[in-house]
Amino acid sequence: MALSEEILKELKEKLIIEKERLKKELRKIAQPVDDDEYKTIYEDIGEEKDENATEVQMYANRLAVKEDLERQLKDVENALKKIEEHKYGICEKCGKEIEIERLKAYPAAKTCIRCARENQGE
Ligand SMILES: [Zn+2]
């Protein structure tokens, strides 16, 4: 592996911080069901028709945010697992090493810059 112990340690710390941040964000809008499952909170603000409409809208917004946070959390946990398994920093698509600059900017990256660009075009 091209990544030095030092960089790996730095990235791992970043990932752990990011994991805690994502969990904190999730807990604002959702309740933990178990370790990595969250249930979006449905806030009851009133019984009037427009209040109910607001509740549904709020819930829909939270659900979208929650799904996005969960996806990010999964990527972070996945990256941490790969560090443990010494598979970190390898592109999931082409199997090549992910650029260090990319990992520094986004430690949970699953693919190299080239594959990420190709993915966007799909
Ligand atoms: Zn790649």
Give the distance (Å) from ligand 1 centre to CA of residue 114.
Answer: 6
Residue 121: per-residue pLDDT:
59
**Tokens linked to 10:** 């730095």
pLDDT at 37 over 70: yes
pLDDT at 3 over 80: yes
More confidently predicted of 1 and 24: 24
Give the distance (Å) from ligand 1 centre to CA of residue 68.
Answer: 23
Query: Which domains, ranges and CATH numbers included, belong to the chain?
Result: 5-121 (1.20.120.910)
CB 42 within 8 A of CB 56: no
Give the distance (Å) from ligand 1 centre to CA of residue 121.
Answer: 14
Give the distance (Å) from ligand 1 centre to CA of residue 14.
Answer: 22
- The identity of residue 56, as a single letter, is V
**Tokens linked to 66:** 């929650």
How many CB atoms neighbour CB 27 within 10 A? 13
Q: What are phi and psi of 117, to 5 degrees?
A: -65, -40
In which residue are the tokens 């409409």 written? 53
Per-residue pLDDT reduced to its tens digit, 69-122: 999 999 999 999 999 999 999 999 999 999 999 999 999 999 999 999 997 755
The percentage of the chain sitting over the pLDDT mark of 90, rounded to a whole number, equals 88
pTM score, two decimals? 0.85
Collapsing DSSP states into helix, strand and coil, what is residue 32?
A: strand
